[in-house]
Amino acid sequence: MKVRVKLFASLASFSPQGGLPGTPFELELPSGATLNDLTQYLQLPNEQIKVCFVNSRIQPSEYVLNDGDDVGIFPPIGGGYHV
């Protein structure tokens, strides 16, 4: 099955194609693959993953992916304005 993946912020360096954060790329995964399988395939460090979206909804790492899913993976992000 094929899924479309976007890696954001510092995770973009793990993209097989390189590129800017949020640049989509397609991956071929075996049927029944989970988000955890995807992150392991991409060799993403677990401590650098904060949230995963599938088709614009937050999903747990055990979520089973489907052909054509759009996946976004975000690291913890700091910053903002403090008074």
Residue 35 lies in a domain: yes
pTM score: 0.89
Tens-digit pLDDT profile for residues 46-66: 999 999 999 999 999 999 999
Residue 50 lies in a domain: yes
Residue 80 lies in a domain: no
Residue 68 lies in a domain: yes
Residue 82 lies in a domain: no
Q: How far apart are CA 77 and CA 64, in angstroms?
A: 26
Residue 66 lies in a domain: yes
Instruction: Provide mean pLDDT across the span 33-46.
Output: 97
**Whole domain around residue 25: which residue ranges?**
2-74
Say what the pLDDT of residue 37 is.
98
Q: What is the CATH number of the domain that holds 17?
A: 3.10.20.30
Beta carbons within 10 angstroms of residue 12's beta carbon: 17
Number of separate domains in the chain:
1
The helix (run of H) or strand (run of E) holding residue 53 is strand 51-54
